[in-house]
Structure 1
Amino acid sequence: MAYSAEFCQGKKAWPELLGMDGEAARIIILKENPLIIWAKIIPLNRIVTMDYICRRVWIRVDCQGKVAKVPVIG
């Protein structure tokens, strides 16, 4: 079964975190959606697995550690 954001519960995207420090963004994400169990900070161009997990957020940061792409569940 393929899942999508509609299937997941709680807050699903954090556009307001763009430009914020990655670790600070991670703390906010975990606080705003307690169903998230894995908020991983990764470089902007890192290749990640394509499986969809409602309890995971990839936080893509630039070379200064600032959020460079809107974090979303999946």
Structure 2
Amino acid sequence: MATQWCPYIGKNSWPELLGTNGDYAASVIKGENSSLQVNVILVGTPVTPDLRCERVRVWVDESRLVVKTPTAG
């Protein structure tokens, strides 16, 4: 996992949310850890390459379905 440098956040990956609605996935993640910043992002959108322990990007397709495992970092 890419987030081993962020051990204090607890759970840092949500593979069970693949294929679900992105907004639903974001609410599940936020419900598990309200201190995380969760962003739903369309695949192909440019983003900064920096790693942040408190950030989770939920990558969705045009149908708003999660296409990558949401991971902190």
TM-score using structure 1 length = 0.85
Q: Percent identity?
A: 39
- Cα shift readout 1:37-70 (whole Å, capped 9, x = no counterpart): x100110111211111111011100110010111
Equivalences for residues 1-74 of structure 1 within 5 A: 5-8=3-6, 9-36=9-36, 38-74=37-73
Q: How far apart in 2 are the matches of 1:55 and 1:24?
A: 19
User: What is the TM-score with the length of structure 2 in the denominator?
Assistant: 0.87
Where does structure 2 lack aligned partners over 5 or more consecutive residues? none
Q: CA RMSD in A?
A: 1.2
Q: Which amino acid aligns with 1:16?
A: E
| Distance in 2 separating the partners of 1:43 and 1:23 | 12
User: Matches of 1:7 and 1:13 in 2, distance apart?
Assistant: 13
Unmatched 5+ residue regions in structure 1?
none
Structure 1 segments, 4+ long, off by >2 Å, are none
Does structure 2 conserve the Cα–Cα contact (< 8 Å) formed by 1:10 and 1:35? no
Counterpart residue type for residue 23 of structure 1 = D
